[in-house]
């Protein structure tokens, strides 16, 4: 997902939700677990961006090393993911709503007709490469048109999304975009990635409803984590999970020629990074950490049931 720097793009935001909203029962209780349970979604981002990403993610899903994944509809390997979705109807696949195109040579544009979403395009005719530029330039109405087009494209290919989230955090970058994100999620009756963060402006919260399931925390490696510290970062995160619902976002792939070309000159979230994430989540050490710390793996499908 590349939240562009958890700060800069922001997970920020709005995830918001109502830090002050009291609920009579915890999400864990509503799902049938003890109130203080540690629930974890291990989530693979960026399906469809490359064949290498798809094969690594499909393998991790089959091993239950990750419990969910999300799809970048504008990307070139979408039909491969659609075929997988048809063959694996129980797979937990959401949509990684995509309003940026960050790679140096592998670029993509919108699903919508470009004349209807002109503000989404950079001078080269592709989606903006970075979150700040996208947030500055795109018009909320055109962003909404595009994310609806992405959802409808996925559905037309036989994908039944379990949730929504935002590539590089664009839809979390300002209240008008977050409002679009929430409104569309409500209309499609889908849960969406959102996090409890204090001290956010009230206008971030105005579109949320009482039925929305808000996560308690998100874990994701960032460029400050050295490759030699990869295992320790994730195992430490598992050991320190608190009660509530956490999503651990990983970026899977194989460090092969294809993914090296796709992520050229982009070490952050590049091919070696994705190989490390794949090796980690499929490792015995990671599985053991989850078991020893009494962490319960859940899916977005489970959260979706709470909307009914």
CATH code of 68's domain: 3.20.20.370
Q: Is the pLDDT of residue 292 over 50?
A: yes
Q: Which two tokens stand for residue 1?
A: 């997902």
pLDDT tens-place string over residues 219-253: 999 999 999 999 999 999 999 999 999 999 999 99
- 1 assigned to some structural domain: no
Question: Does 291 reside within a domain?
Answer: yes
Considering the domain boundaries, does residue 279 fall inside one? yes
Look at residue 203 and tell me whether its pLDDT is greater than 80: no
Task: Determine how many CB atoms are found less than 10 A away from the CB of residue 199.
Answer: 6
Cα(298)–Cα(38) distance, rounded to whole angstroms?
A: 10
In angstroms, the CA 112 to CA 102 distance is: 19
- pLDDT tens figures, 42-97: 999 999 999 999 999 999 999 999 999 999 999 999 999 999 999 999 999 999 99
pLDDT at 172 over 80: yes
Measure the CA–CA gap between 236 and 86, rounded to whole angstroms: 36
Write down the mean pLDDT value for the chain: 92
**Taking residues 258-276, what's their average pLDDT?**
97
Measured CA to CA, the distance from residue 34 to residue 302 in angstroms comes to: 15
Residue 2 in this model has a pLDDT that exceeds 90: no
Alpha-carbon span 13 to 296, nearest angstrom: 27
Q: Is residue 195 a part of any domain in this protein?
A: yes
Mean pLDDT calculated for residue range 8-19: 42
Specify if 273 maps to a domain.
yes
**The model's pTM:** 0.92
User: Residue 268 domain-assigned?
Assistant: yes
Counting the structural domains of the chain, the total is: 1
Task: Domain of residue 40: give its range.
Answer: 6-305
């Amino acid at each position: 997902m590349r939240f562009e720097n958890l700060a800069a793009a922001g997970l920020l935001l709005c995830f918001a939700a109502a830090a002050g909203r009291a609920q009579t029962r915890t999400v864990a209780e509503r799902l049938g677990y003890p109130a203080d349970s540690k629930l974890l979604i291990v989530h693979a981002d960026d399906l469809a961006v490359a064949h290498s990403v798809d094969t690594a993610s499909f393998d991790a899903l089959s091993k239950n090393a990750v419990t969910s994944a999300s799809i970048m509809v504008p990307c070139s390997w979408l039909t491969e993911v659609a075929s997988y979705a048809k063959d694996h109807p129980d797979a937990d696949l959401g949509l990684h709503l995509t309003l940026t195109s960050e790679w140096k040579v592998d670029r993509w544009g919108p699903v919508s007709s470009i004349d209807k979403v002109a503000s989404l395009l950079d001078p080269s005719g592709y989606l903006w490469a970075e979150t700040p530029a996208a947030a500055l330039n795109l018009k909320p109405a055109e962003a909404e048109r595009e994310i609806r087009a992405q959802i409808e494209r996925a559905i037309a290919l036989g994908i039944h999304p379990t949730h929504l989230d935002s590539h590089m955090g664009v839809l979390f970058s300002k209240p008008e975009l977050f409002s679009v994100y929430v409104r569309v999620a409500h209309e499609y009756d889908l849960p969406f990635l959102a996090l409890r963060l204090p001290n956010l402006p009230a206008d971030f919260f105005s579109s949320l409803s009482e039925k929305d399931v808000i996560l308690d925390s998100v874990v994701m490696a960032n460029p400050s984590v050295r490759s030699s510290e990869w295992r320790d970062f994730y195992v430490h995160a598992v050991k320190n999970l608190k009660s509530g619902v956490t999503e651990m976002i990983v970026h899977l792939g194989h460090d092969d020629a294809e993914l090296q070309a796709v992520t050229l000159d982009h070490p952050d979230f590049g091919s070696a990074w994705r190989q490390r994430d794949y090796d980690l989540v499929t490792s015995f050490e990671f599985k053991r950490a989850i078991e020893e710390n009494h962490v319960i793996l859940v899916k977005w499908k489970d959260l979706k049931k709470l909307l009914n």
